[in-house]
Structure 1
Amino acid sequence: MLLQSPVWSVFGRISFRIAFVYFLLYFNPLQFLAVIPGLYWLPGTALLPLDALTFFLNDQLFHISPTLNQNGGGSGDTSFAWAQVFTMLALAVLGGLAWTFFGKKRTSYPVWQHGLCVFLRYSLAGISFSYGILKVFAMQMHFPNLSQLATPLGDYLPMRFSWMFIGYSGPYQIFSGLAEVAVALLLVWRKTALLGALLAVGVFANVVMLNFSYDIPVKIYSLHLLILSVFLVWQERERLFAFFVQNKAVLPSSLYEKSWAKKWQNSGRLVLKVFFFLSSFGYTTYNYYNYYSQYHATKDLVMDPVEPGIYHVEVFVKNGDTIPESLADAQRWRDVVFDYNGSGSIAANDSSLRMRYGRAYFVYQPDSLGERIEWRNYSAESHPVASFDMDLSEKGKMILRGAKGDDSLQVVLRKLDRHFPLTERQFHWISESNR
C-alpha cells in the first residue's frame, strides 16, 4: 500500500488508487445523508446502477448462481452480496488502472489519502457505534426464551447457538458493546484515531472469527470492517514499527493534521462533526433507548389468563381420531410452549406455522374472558391460523377445542414443572467441583 513519503512507490500509488475506488463503492459516502428526513432513500437509489451491473456481470462472467438472491432475510452473505463484491473489485481495478494511465502523473496523493482516511474513520466510527450501543443496551442478542430452552441442543444451527451463548450473559454483551463504542469515540478525534484503529483491529478480528467459526452470515461485512481497520493502521505503519519494534522515538502523526486557511472552512468542519455526533451518536442512542424501553416493558408481559410455561400434550385428537404419543410421528404435537409476551411454539413439524429448529412458532392472543384463544404466524396478521375454545377450569391444565386450518382439533395440555438451570444465571467465585 501507500507510503507516507514525498514519493510513493509505483505499487503504492496503484494500490492506493484501487483501494480508494473500492472503499468509496463499498462504504457509499451517501450513507451519511440517510438520517436527514426525506433523504433516507438516496443511498440505496444511488446503488441501483451498481445492482444492475452486478446482475449483468454475474450472467456474463462470475456465474456464482443461476439466479442471484438479493433478499437474504437478514443474511449478508447471499449470492448477490458475493457477486456485488466481485463487481466492486472489478470496478476498483479498472478504475485504478484508468486513473494510472489517464490521470495526472503524481508521485503521491497526500490530500486524497487524508480525505479517504477521514471518510473511513467516520464510517467505521458510525458503524462501530451503531453495533456497540445496541450491545450496551443488551439488545442485539437476547436471553434464550422458553421455546429455545425447550429445543434440543443438537437441533440448533451454530449461528443460533452462538447468539444464545452471547445473549445469555448481559455483562459480556455489554462489555463487547463498550469496546465497540470505545472504537467509535477514539476514531472521531484526530489525536486518538490511531488508538481507535488499533482497538478496532482487535474488536473486529474477534467478530470475524465468531462469524466464520459459527457460520454467522455477516462474513462479508465484518471482514470489510476488519480490512478497513487494518487499512487505517497501515497508514501509520512506519511510526508503529519504529516505536514497537525498533524502540525508537517517533514524531507525532501528521496524517490527520490539516490546517484550514479560511474561517468558514474551520466552521464547516465543526458543523459537520456536530452533525455526525447528532446523527450517529445522538439519534442512534435515542432510537435504541426507545427500543430498549419498549422491549423491557413487554418482555415479561403475561397474557392473562394463560399461564406461561411448557405444556405436555396428554391427548391429541385430530379430525375425530385420537393420535397416540410417538417420537416417530413428527405431525403429532409433543408439547406446547406459551411464553411471555404472547409468543409460543409447538414441538411438531407443522408447515402452516413458522418452523425453526424443529419447532413450529406462533403468537397467541386470548380473549378478555379467557374462553377463546387465537394463534397467528405474526401479530400483524388479520386472520388467525388457529382458533380454539379454551377450558382453564383445572389449574395447570388447558383444554383446546377448535380448528387449525382445515383440521378440527381437541388437545389436552398439562403444565410441566420444568426447571431450566440455565435460567439461574449462575456465577460462583468458589467452585468445589466441575459442573
Structure 2
Amino acid sequence: MTKFDQITVERWTTWQKIAFRITFLFFVIMAIPWNGFWYDNIFSLRLKTLEYRNLHVFCEYTPKFIEIKTESGHWGIASYVNWAIILLIAALGGLVWTFFDRKRQNFAVLSYWLRTLARYRAGVGILGYGFTKLFPTQMPYPSIGILHTDFINLTPQKIFWLSVGSVPWYESFTGFLELLAGVLLQFRKTSLYGSILLVAALGDIVFVNFAYDGEVHLFSTYLALFGLVVLAYDVPALYNLLIRERYTVPLHYYPAWSKSWRITRLGIKFITFAVFIGLFTFLMYQNFRYDAYKLPHNKGLAQTSGFYNVTEFRVNNKIIPYSPLDTVRWQDATFEKWATFTFKLNKPVQIDILGGGGRPKKDIDRRFEMAGVAGGRRFFTYHADTVNHILYLQNKNIPDTAQKLVFHYIRAGASRVILTGTNENRDSVYMVLDRSNKKSVLPESTLQAGNY
C-alpha cells in the first residue's frame, strides 16, 4: 500500500468530518468575491489604460455584506461581523451536508483542493501588498507638513505608518519578505515555508493594527487565516519532528493528474506568475517612478518646497501680529514637492480617520498626507498658473472640500513668497512667507516615490 493509498482509505471520525465540512464551506465562501465592483473591474480592463489599481482590486478583496457604523466596526472586533455571518452559513451548510453524506470515510481529496485554494488566495493577496512595500508607496516618506506637526496632533495609526515610511529601505525589505511568501505559496513543495512566513508576517501586522487602530487588520487577518489552512496540514508532522524529536516522513496526498489536467495546472500557474508577478512588477515600477500612489501626482510650484514662517499677515489691509491663539492669522505654511500647500491656523479641523488608503486617482482624493493629522493644519491641492502667477487652491480637509481659494503670488527672492487674494470670508488678505532654514532631524531618504 502506498502512502497516498493510506491517506485515501483512512477513516475520519464523525466530528472530524463535520468540522472539515464547515471549514471547507467557510473558506470557499470567504474566497469567492461577492462584491459587484470586483467583477466590474474585470470587464472594464483595457490594455491601454491598465495600471496597478486594476490588479490590486483582485488582491485585497474581503467579503462585506453589512457594515457596523461604530468605532469597533471600523477598527475593532465588530468589523469581523461579516465573518460571523459566513461562519453561521457554513455551519448550517455543513450540518445539511452531513445529513446527506454519511458514508464518506474521509475528505482527503477535498482537503487537497482546500489547501490549493488557500495557497493561491493567500499568495495572490500578499503579492499585491508586497509590491506596494517593495516599491515603498504603501507608507510614504513623511511630508514637510507632517514633519512640522506636533507629535501630540498625530493619531497612533499615523505615527506607526510614518515610523515605517521614514525608513523606506526597511519597508522595501518587508515587501520582499511578503513577495517571497507569495511566491513560495504558489508551489506545493514550498507551500509550508511560504505559509510559515506569511502567518508570521501577517500575524504581526494584525497585532500592530489593533494596537495602533490601523485599518488593514481585517485583510491581514484574512490572509493569515488562509495561511493557517496551508500550515495546519503539516502541523502534526512538525510537532512530531520538532517537539517529540522523532523520525518523521510527512504524508501528502496529490491527485493523479491526467495529461490534460497537467497542462491546465501549468497554464494556471503560468498565468498567475505572468499577471501577478511579471505584469504587477512592471506596473508598480511605473507607479513608483511617475505616480506615488498615495501622495499627489502633480508637481508643485518649482523651487518653493519647504517650511515657511508667516512674517507678515494682513486682513483688509490691517496688520495682524503673530499670536498662537489668534483664530484668523496663519501661524506657518508649507509647500510640498508635489502640488500641496498647507497652513496652520488656531481652529480645529475634522480628523480624517480613514488612513488615506484606497487607490484614488485625483489629487483632491489623495489624503494620506492629511489623514490622522489634527492641530489646525489645512491641506490644499493647487494648480499654478505660472504665466499669470496665480494659485488655484482647493481644500482637502473633510468636510471642507468644496472650499476654493485663489491667490496671486510673487516670488520676492529665493526664499520669499508673497500671497494676495481673498480668504474664505471674502476678506482681502496679504501674506509674506519666508522660507525657514530649519533642518529636519530626519535625513532626506535616497529612496522616494514619485517624480517631482
**Class of the TM-score when normalised by the shorter of the 2 chains:** 0.7 to 0.9
Who is 1:415 aligned against? 435
Task: Provide the residue aligned with 1:433 in structure 2.
Answer: none
Corresponding residue for 1:103? 101
Q: Deviations over 1:325-365 (max 9, x none)?
A: 22223443100101101212111237699863221111223
1:332 counterpart = 2:350: no
1:67 to 1:371, Cα distance in 2 relative to 1, 3 A: closer
The structural deviation recorded for 1:217 is 1.6
- SS in structure 1 of the partner of residue 190 of structure 2: helix
Q: Do residues 400 (structure 1) and 419 (structure 2) align?
A: yes
CA contact (8 A) 1:344 1:361 kept: yes
Q: How far has the Cα of 1:34 moved from its partner?
A: 7.9
1:269 to 259, 265, 271: 265
Residue by residue over 1:406-434, the C-alpha shift from the partner in whole angstroms, topping out at 9 and shown as x without a partner, is: 422222222111110112569xxxxxxxx
Displacement after TM superposition at 1:316 (Å)? 2.3
What residue in structure 2 maps to residue 280 of structure 1? Answer: 276
Whole-angstrom CA distance in 1 between matches of 2:221 and 2:287: 28
Does residue 1:86 correspond to 2:84, yes or no? yes
Q: How does 1:245-394 map to 2 (within 5 A)?
A: 245-255=243-253, 257-260=254-257, 262-295=258-291, 303-305=300-302, 307-348=304-345, 349=347, 356-358=373-375, 359-369=377-387, 371-377=389-395, 385-394=404-413
What is the CA distance between 1:231 and its match in structure 2?
2.4
Contact 2:126–2:178 (8 Å) recurs in 1 = yes
**1-side partners of 2:415 and 2:445: how far apart?**
26
1:12 to 16, 23, 32: 16
User: Are 2:121 and 1:123 aligned?
Assistant: yes
Conserved? CA contact 2:307–2:435, under 8 Å: yes
Which letter maps to 2:344?
Answer: A
1:160-191 Cα offsets, whole Å, 9 max, x none, are 11111111112211111111111111111111
RMSD: 3.6
Query: Which SS does the other structure have where 1:375 is aligned?
Result: strand
Task: Tell whether the 8 Å contact from 1:299 to 1:340 is kept in structure 2 after alignment.
Answer: no
| Corresponding position of 1:166 | 164
Q: Which residue of 2 aligns with 1:198?
A: 196
Report the CA distance shift for 1:241/1:35 in structure 2 as closer, same or farther (over 3 A).
farther
Contact map agreement 2:118 2:229 (CA 8 A) in 1: no
Match of 1:113 in 2: 111
Distance, in Å, in 2 between the alignment partners of 1:36 and 1:253 is 39
One-letter identity of the residue aligned with 2:287: Y
Count residues in correspondence: 400
- Aligned AA for 1:400? L
Q: Is the 8 A contact 2:300 2:335 kept in 1?
A: no
Q: What is the one-letter code of the residue matched to 1:148?
A: I
Q: Residues of 2 paired with 1:308 and 1:371: CA distance? A: 16
Cα–Cα, structure 1 residues 342 and 162, in superposed 2: closer, same or farther, change >3 Å?
Answer: same
- Which stretch shifts more, 19-28 or 138-147? 19-28
Structure 2 counterpart of 1:368, one-letter code: T
Using the TM superposition, give the Cα deviation of residue 122 of structure 1 relative to its aligned residue in structure 2, in angstroms: 0.6
User: Counterparts of 1:227-238 in structure 2 under 5 Å?
Assistant: 227-238=225-236
* Deviant stretches of 4+, over 4 Å: 29-41, 64-69, 75-79, 296-302, 350-355
Aligned partners of 2:262 and 2:442: how far apart in 1? 55
**Greater CA deviation, 361-370 or 333-342?**
361-370
When residues 386 and 35 of structure 1 are mapped into structure 2, their CA distance, relative to the original with a 3 A threshold, is closer
In structure 2, what is the Cα distance between the partners aligned to 1:82 and 1:171?
A: 33
CA deviations over 1:384-416 (Å, ceiling 9, x no partner) = 711112122344222211123342222222211
Instruction: Return closer, same or farther for 1:165/1:330 CA change in 2, 3 Å cut-off.
Output: farther
The verdict on how the C-alpha distance between 1:425 and 1:308 changes in structure 2, with shifts beyond 3 A counting, is: closer
Secondary structure of the residue aligned to 2:205 is helix
**Are 1:155 and 2:153 matched, yes or no?**
yes
Alpha-carbon distance in 2 for matches of 1:146, 1:360 = 13
Most deviating of 176-185 and 216-225: 216-225
TM-score, length of structure 1 as denominator length: 0.81
- Contact residue 301 and residue 340 of structure 1 kept, 8 A: no
Please identify, of 400-409 and 332-341, the stretch whose mean Cα deviation from structure 2 is larger: 400-409
Alpha-carbon separation, structure 2, partners of 1:150 and 1:87: 45
Cα gap change, 1:113 to 1:417, in 2 (>3 Å): same
Amino acid at match of 2:312: V
Q: Secondary structure at the match of 1:419?
A: coil
2:133: which partner in 1?
135
Change (3 A) 1:34 1:121: farther
Q: Report the Cα distance in structure 2 between the residues aligned to 1:117 and 1:334, rounded to whole angstroms.
A: 58
Give me the TM-score of the superposition, normalised by structure 2: 0.78
Q: Distance in 2 between matches of 1:66 and 1:203?
A: 28
Q: Please give the alpha-carbon distance, in whole angstroms, between the structure 2 residues aligned to 1:145 and 1:402.
A: 26
8 Å Cα contact 2:134-2:171 kept in structure 1: yes
Does structure 2 retain, via aligned residues, the 8 Å contact 1:133–1:285? yes
| Overall identity of the aligned pairs, in % | 25
C-alpha distance in structure 1 between counterparts of 2:301 and 2:69, whole Å: 49
The structure showing larger relative contact order (alpha-carbon pairs under 8 Å, at least 6 residues apart) is: 2
- Is the CA contact 2:301–2:384 (under 8 Å) kept in the aligned structure 1? yes
Amino acid at match of 1:94: L
Q: CA separation in 2, counterparts of 1:78 and 1:292?
A: 34
Give 1:140 deviation, angstroms: 1.2
Q: Which amino acid aligns with 1:278?
A: A
Superposed CA deviations along residues 62-113 of structure 1, whole A, max 9, x for unmatched, are xx559998xxxxx68696x433222212212222222222334323111111
Code of the aligned partner of 1:387? V
After superposition, the C-alpha distances for 1:301-332 in whole angstroms (9 at most, x for unaligned) are 86445521111112222345543322223443
Q: Quote the residue 1:430 is aligned against.
A: none
Provide closer, same or farther for how the CA distance between residues 10 and 321 of structure 1 changes in structure 2, counting only shifts above 3 A.
farther
